[in-house]
Amino acid sequence: MTLPPDTPDLTVSPGLLTDRYELTMLTSFVTDGSAEHPAVFEAFARRLPEGRRYGVLGGLGRLLPMIERFTFDADEIAWLLAEGVINEATAEYLRDFRFRGDIDAYPEGDLYFPGSPVLSVRCTLGEGVLLETLVLSVLNHDSAIASAAARMAVAAGDRPLVEMGSRRTHEEAAVAVARVAYVAGFASTSNLAAGRRHGVPTVGTAAHAFTLAHTSEVEAFRSQVEAQGVGTTLLVDTYDTEQGIRNAVAVAGTGLGAIRIDSGDLADEATAARRLLDELGATGTRITATSDIDEYVITALADAPIDGYGVGTRVATGSGHPTASMVYKLVAVADAPDGPLRPVAKKSHDKVSVGGRKTAYRTHDDGVLTGEWFTTGDAVPAEATPVQVAAFRGGRTVHSPDLEAVRAHCAAALATLPPQARSVAAGPSHLTVTEGATS
């Protein structure tokens, strides 16, 4: 079945969330008989975005269920044949396709550095090549968001962050953004789908349009308070911020939950707002700041009387780095279905990879992360801690912590970084991961 151009199809199988060349390579492997040869693929980043000290792995909890469902239905296979993407032998291969390999991975929310083997896939050559695009699309997006969100959360300290970037990205990406920002330390999201699907706490009150829709700011505030109670957050800068604060307290009383400021010099506006709120007796009313917030703005506002932040565009786009630039490479392959694995590696300039399946481990000193290495085998030194966990075995997910556990793991991982590595100031990666040594 061929769909008309631009026809929305929300029922597409995960198998089609891929690039054409994955299937043309598979066709060659099926045709020459090598599709069933054992192989190992790995995902890793050669480098971090410029100036970043660490990365945070995001998306594993989304990826593994998608791999379980990675199939092709009859209509999709017929379309692939009609388009000349595959031949009949490959169509037969895909009719019963399920990924039945094994996957080891860094736990979601964990740190990674240049060279960290964050995902290791042991499978057949045919299985492994099909997963490349899906693995990279999920891990690159979610890790970019997680890494940016973690930097913001570290900068904010005890001040809660609300993720509110849904209007700045694709509608499905918005759900993934909210999920992984929560993993990385955000307190809540404005995105309801993330609340429904993943259990992320949701918050939200009103936009400027709500105020403009009423005959006066006082009427808008009265309507909101009547509907949501005095604990709500009133947006006070639609017209004049000082008068907006006075109107907010006049309507809600000194028990008003919070005000939101979305414009101007946030440090000056928050200082003036705090002074006025206290004068009016609303000493417990919190101040939330929005408007182009990122980790640098949060750091600059550290001394301002701001109680929380709403972050939109910058978290939804990775704070200037919308991809983690991870790659997925074949690192070992057998020359026969029952043959031994031989290491393979890319040698091209600036894109070198290291052959062989890797086992990663770390060392700590008094709780501080001091080193990360890998071996091309299973051995882990007695004084070191293995990083990877068994994530997928024989076609089934075996690592599925709930979101709160993933969030706690991320917080614990970030706590192992020394203070200079947690800084938002540009600097080199805290670690570079190599075989048996670190630099």
Q: What is the pLDDT of residues 17-54, one digit of tens each?
A: 999 999 999 999 999 999 999 999 999 999 999 999 99
Q: What is the pLDDT of residues 214-262, one digit of tens each?
A: 999 999 999 999 999 999 999 999 999 999 999 999 999 999 999 999 9
Grouping H, G, I as helix, E, B as strand and the rest as coil, residue 70 is coil
Residue pair 131/120 in contact by the 8 Å Cβ criterion: no
- 12 pLDDT band, cuts 50/70/90, is confident
Both tokens of residue 280?
């009016």
- 438 pLDDT band, cuts 50/70/90, is very low
| pLDDT greater than 90 at residue 339 | yes
Grouping H, G, I as helix, E, B as strand and the rest as coil, residue 397 is strand
Residue 2: predicted pLDDT: 52
Q: What is the pLDDT of residues 261-315, one digit of tens each?
A: 999 999 999 999 999 999 999 999 999 999 999 999 999 999 999 999 999 999 9
| pLDDT greater than 50 at residue 7 | no
CA 372/CA 52 separation, integer angstroms: 17
Residue 156: predicted pLDDT: 98
Residue 31: predicted pLDDT: 97
CA 308/CA 376 separation, integer angstroms: 46
Order of strands, edge to edge, in the sheet holding 188-189? 188-189, 161-163, 308-311, 286-289, 258-261, 233-235
Q: Report all structural domains of the chain as residue ranges with CATH numbers, in order of start.
A: 14-104+112-144+324-396 (3.20.140.10), 205-291 (3.20.20.70)
Give the DSSP letter string of 73-97.
Answer: -HHHHHHHHHTTSS-HHHHHHHHT-
Q: Residue 14: name the closest of 102, 60, 73, 57 by CA.
A: 73
Residue 6: predicted pLDDT: 47
What is the C-alpha radius of gyration for the chain, rounded to an integer number of angstroms?
A: 25
Q: What is the pLDDT of residues 125-146, one digit of tens each?
A: 999 999 999 999 999 999 999 9
Q: Percent of the chain, pLDDT > 70?
A: 96
Both tokens of residue 377?
């085998």
- Residue 229, sorted as left (phi over 0), alpha (psi -120 to 50) or beta, turns out to be left
pTM of the model: 0.94
Residue 385: predicted pLDDT: 93
Please give the mean pLDDT across all residues of the chain.
95
CA 135/CA 64 separation, integer angstroms: 9
Q: What is the pLDDT of residues 143-168, one digit of tens each?
A: 999 999 999 999 999 999 999 999 99
CA 251/CA 254 separation, integer angstroms: 9
